[in-house]
Amino acid sequence: MMSLIEQIKNGKLWRYLGGVHPQENKTQSTSLAITTARIPKHLIIPVKQHIGQGGKILVAIGDRVLKGQPLTASDSFMTVPVHAPTSGVIEHIAQYPSTHPSATPEIAIKLVCDQLDDAIPAQQALDYKQLSTAELQQHISQSGVAGMGGAGFPTAVKLSDRQPIEFLLINAAECEPYITSDDVLMRERADDIILGIEILRHMIKPALCVIGIEDNKSDAAQALETAINKLKLNDDIVVHKVPTKYPNGGEKQLIKMLTGKEISKGQIPAQSGIVMQNVGTVYAVKQAIIDRQPLLSRIVTLTGKAFPQPCNVQVLIGTPIKALLDEFECNEDKAAAIIYGGPMMGFTLPHAQFSLTKTGNCILTPIKDEIPQVREPDACIRCGECAEACPVDLLPQQLHWYSQAKDVKKLADYNLMDCIECGACSYVCPSQIPLVHQYRIAKVEVRESDAELAAAAIAKERFEKRNERLALEKAQREQRQKEAAEKRRATAKATTGEDPVKAAMERIQKAKAAEQAADGQASKGSAVADAIARAKAKKAAASSNAAAVPDNAAVIAERKARKAAARAQREAESSQPAAVTTSPAIEAKKAAVADAIARAKAKKLAAQANTVTPTTDEADSPAPAVDAKKAAVAAAIARAKAKKLAAQANTVTPATDEAESPAPAVDAKKAAVAAAIARAKAKKLAAQENTVPPTIDEAESPAAVDAKKAAVAAAIARAKAKKLAAQENTVTPTTDEADSPAPAVDAKKAAVAAAIARAKAKKLAAQANTVTPTTDEADSPAPAVDAKKAAVAAAIARAKAKKLAAQENTAATTTKDSVSVEKNDSSDTVQTTEPVDKKKAAIAAAIAKAKAKKLAQLGDK
């Protein structure tokens, strides 16, 4: 079985997935030899033109530099320096838009060319065979050589001999349409390329060197083979022509085709024993070692129908694109776009002020008919053509979504960094989505995110180490303090014979106990003082309220009494069984007696209030008003009790039919007694009132106030009488025996009401007789007021008598035609009450008229 090296020498090729076959358009720029562009007016030289870190700037504004002079310094292989491509003066050092799809601003040096092209002193060529790999790496790195195939990876890093290298592969495929810079370079400078390959072979010592070139570059392949034969290196260097397909020039794709090996994710070709270099990079290595010239220029293809004659040009690094377009007479008005790079991996420049870098190999200016019509991209239709064309076996559709969403994590999960930016996906996309452009911007974001994460990790590590250091220092400091305290304690104990810490603790405890005792006494005294102060404040507040705030207790008590009586009555009515019927005569009698008693008590309290004599000559004393309020409260309480008794009486159920007959006589006696008592009390109060001499010279006499109160009490009594009469009218007896006593009860009630009216009239007359004016001024208005009130009372009494007569007539019509005969022990006959009631009503009316006339005569006096 042949070894891998033998298979490769025999011309075996392998295949990779994906790839496309775009139109080549290469012959337009290969008809002319390489020309050299003029020195422009100025150069804009980016400090960082490679993968890695930018070097330290060595020049300042205003410095004159020579051709080949370093502008930045390199302290590692990943920091590639830049050099002055020609002589001139440093005009500006600032940020300029980078020649990148993202146009991210980067530090660049603006060099104004003096057109003299003065160079640093020439150096002798190096004998690379006498130098070690490390020494050659240093020279290559200091010459600023980086990958010129497009990646820009520092060349010296890839040329290490730390691990064995089996294959050195030279990438001469140049698969992208329109680009012919490597093709022309191999045609015209094949010997220099082979010499550069020899330097690399000396450094890494591979078993075999393979040059991979597409079969559409037969002239270049022939030139390389001629140079190999001239140096008799046929056994060590072989040229393999590969079928033309895009992207054959990709590193992993060409390795797969030439060796059959696949580079795993995260690995570099050197780990598989392979090193690959571009043709242009090999030529730059030869210039750095043999010619001792740093990387100052490169070959660029100027193509597209906007150029009158496409060609390949040797151009200084940092030359503005605008200078090249002007020098080679590009018709910018005719050009549909200015593309930096090829049509597949290149990107459109917004303007021509960008500068050429070490990785730029083509300026394409196609006209409208030369490229597909540019239009707004459509939405992705998920056709999958991009996935089939991808040579790295990625999922471009998913990368498109996540790049638009700026989802860095998902982009990493879907291996965005493995994308070689070949543009095959964009080429086959029917929606014309600029996928590669999106991926390039997303890669920048991913790198920035990774840099931030790395910086955060470093900062976290430093923070944790700082905390550890501070904790250690704190522990050491506390230990030192503890040891010093122990030492001081031992010294004090040895000197005084007493533990100073224990003594200090005892002193603190004693002081604390004394402080607590003092605080307890102070708090006890303050508590007593606070209590006394609160008592005084309450007393003062009560005094001020009694003097300033009117006492509404009587009104409130009266309202509460009325509410309680109404609530009790409702409860009594609701709790009374439906089958039981209460005698209306008993209820009315008891209510009348209780009402008469309440009014008598109210009169007594009012009379007692009148016995108080004011002792000052000024306005009336407030004492009578207070007593009157108390009297009103007492009257309200008495009325409430009367209502309660009436409610209780309503709940009494007669046990037999025979018990109903003696009740009227008993109730009548009680009513007569109550009326006599009321009249006696009224006479007594009138006599007491006559003994009270008025001493007030000013303001209104108390008699008028008492008259008002008596009128109010009379009005309240009349209202209650009306209410009882109304209740009696609503009661319907359930038996025939209950009809007979009702007229007698009503007559008795009328007699009671007449007696009450007479007592009130007598009291009012007595009060009027006691009122004597003591001043020479106008007569007091009290008699007139009393006369008015007496007239009102008389009118009310007449109305009441009429109402009672009407009620009695109504009651008489609703009874049966004949009155039932009482039992044998009662009287023989029962007379009708209608004549009696009329007679009593006439008597009450006559009394009221006499009372009114008497009050009127008093008022005239």
Query: Rounded to 5 degrees, what are φ and ψ at 859?
Result: -65, -35
What is the sign, positive or negative, of the torsion defined by CA atoms of 412, 413, 417, 420?
Answer: negative
- Partnered with residue 276 across adjacent β-strands are 169
Q: CA angle, corner 702, sides to 701 and 705, nearest 5?
A: 110
Question: How far apart, in whole angstroms, are the C-alpha atoms of residue 244 and residue 246?
Answer: 7
**How long is the chain?**
861
390 is in an annotated binding site: yes
Answer yes or no: is 330 a known binding residue: no
SS3 call for 345? coil
- Residue 113 known to bind ligand: no
Closest by CA to 49, choosing from 284, 260, 368, is 284
Q: Which residues of 596-611 are buried (b: 16+ CB within 10 A; e: fewer)?
A: bbbbbbbbbbbbebbe
DSSP track, 57-124: E---TT-EE-BT-BSEE-SSTTS---B-SS-EEEEEEEEEE-SSTT--EEEEEEEEE-S---BPPP-P
Residues 6+ apart with CB under 8 A from 843: 754
Give the separation between CA 311 and CA 307, rounded to whole angstroms. Answer: 9
For residues 192 and 226, is the Cβ–Cβ distance under 8 A?
no
- 383 marked ligand binding residue: yes
Task: Find the DSSP H helices in 218-352.
Answer: 218-231, 251-259, 279-289, 321-327
Residue 517, classed as helix, strand or coil, is: helix
Neighbour-count burial of 768, counting CB atoms closer than 10 A to its CB (0-12 exposed, 13-18 middle, 19+ buried): buried
Q: What helix, strand, coil percent values describe the chain, rounded to 5?
A: 55, 10, 35
Beta-carbon contacts of residue 95 (< 8 Å; ≥ 6 apart): 105, 106, 107, 108
Annotated binding residue at 429?
yes
Q: Is 525 exposed, middle or buried (0-12, 13-18, 19+ CB in 10 A)?
A: exposed
Strand order in the sheet with 274-278: 237-242, 208-214, 167-171, 274-278
Estimate to the nearest angstrom the gap between the alpha carbon of 738 and the chain centroid.
Answer: 82
Alpha helices by DSSP H, listed for 549-581, are 553-575
Query: 209 labelled as ligand-binding?
Result: no
Give dist(CA 37, CA 324) in Å, integer. Answer: 8
Tell me how crowded residue 766 is: count the other CB atoms within 10 A of its CB. Answer: 19
At 828, is the secondary structure helix, strand, or coil?
A: coil
- Per the rule left: phi > 0, alpha: psi between -120 and 50, beta: everything else, 266 is left
**Binding annotation for [4Fe-4S] cluster:** 380, 383, 386, 390, 419, 422, 425, 429
Residues in binding site: 380, 383, 386, 390, 419, 422, 425, 429
